[in-house]
Amino acid sequence: MITVCDTPSMLRIGLTGGIGAGKSSVSARLAARGAVVIDADRLAREVVEPGTSGLAAVVEAFGPDVLTAEGALDRPALAAVVFADPTARQTLNAIVHPLVGARTYERMRQAGEDAMVVHDVPLLVENGLGPSYHLVVVVHADEDVRVDRLRRDRAMPAEQARARIDAQATDEQRRAAADVWLDNGGSLRTLENAVNQLWDDRLLPYQENLRARRPATRSGQAEIVPSDPTWPAQAERVLGKLRAALGETAVRVDHIGSTSVPGLAAKDILDLQVSVRAIADADAAANTFADAGFPAVQRIRSDEPKPIEPDPARWAKRYHNNADPGRQVNLHVRVVGWPNWRYALLFRDWLRADADARGAYERHKLALAADFPDYAGYAEAKEPWFDQALPKAEEWAARTGWSA
């Protein structure tokens, strides 16, 4: 996993895609627009060049038969050893991966803290590296297209091409990891236009927001849209980044709010909750949140207190929005056991379980959005519904034995 805690303004992009998908074309275009591209495959070759400690370690592990007559690494010979032997492959990875990680860190430091770094990693999904990056960009092409490219560009037999494709992550696994999905089934010009649009509309504004420690600009309109079945997967990607950034500071992280309730119409905004042990922990982690792409919104310091808990201090929270203009997120940082923390989880689970309550809430939301088109007015007008619904949610919790 790539950690660059001393380069807080650096936007880190993970770029990946299956063999033959056209990842190199995307990295070339991003480099032309100004990104610093770090090619993991190239670094993996560098760390085992003649005279390196990496090559010496490989020879010690696998013997002199993995060397050419000139003393360089015989890659086909090494591949024949490790391809069909998981233990041998683990041994090789244990040698090469730390060396590549150290070289990657060096290149990122050299790029400068305000750079936009694109880390080109073929096995990003397979190695679970997605949470290390602000965004993961996946380049995709259908299998038949990829096989044709491999036959044409690398003279690779079709059977071998399909075997290489089958040995990598599936399209479904890559979709689960992708913040951005670039389809490269067409022409190079079409792909470059898509990369240019991504750069102008998302990457460059994200970089500027990250540097300025400010949330992305968002619409003030309270538009309710039909439930999107991909919301949970989108939320899980963001939650993974938060887990990686916060470590033990976060007791737990949860998808809450309307987008966490299947079938419920909602604003296309992910509400997430980070649970901490004390409000001081939330304050201490403010820079960590900002480095991860979630700057604080200082004007919001508390939820609206409810009569059940008279102490306003126990309704305190810290609130962040994200700097990414391509995915709106409301991030609520609350203390474990406090009433606002509990209610966020209670309402989510009650609405998931009770179809009648879910339907009533959706009708209420749609009516309010029509009457209060601006987000601030909509949010304020919605509060009385929660006051009226709270006893019903509590009754459900008592009847079912629910606990947070």
Per the annotation, where are the binding residues? 20-25
How long is the chain? 404
Bridge partners for 275 per DSSP: 252, 334
Structure tokens at 128: 């679970």
What is the C-alpha separation between 185 and 188, in angstroms, rounded? 9
Element (H, E) at 43: helix 40-46
Element (H, E) at 197: helix 188-198
CA triple 51-47-147, angle to 5 deg: 125
Binding-site entries for ATP: 20-25
Phi-psi region of 293 (alpha: psi -120 to 50; beta: other; left: phi over 0): left
Backbone angles phi, psi at 390, to 5 degrees: -55, -45
Transcribe 271-334 into DSSP letters: EEEEEESSHHHHHHTHHHHHHTT--B-TT--BPPP-TT---GGGGB-EEEE-S-TTS-EEEEEE
- CA 360 to the chain's CA centroid: 33
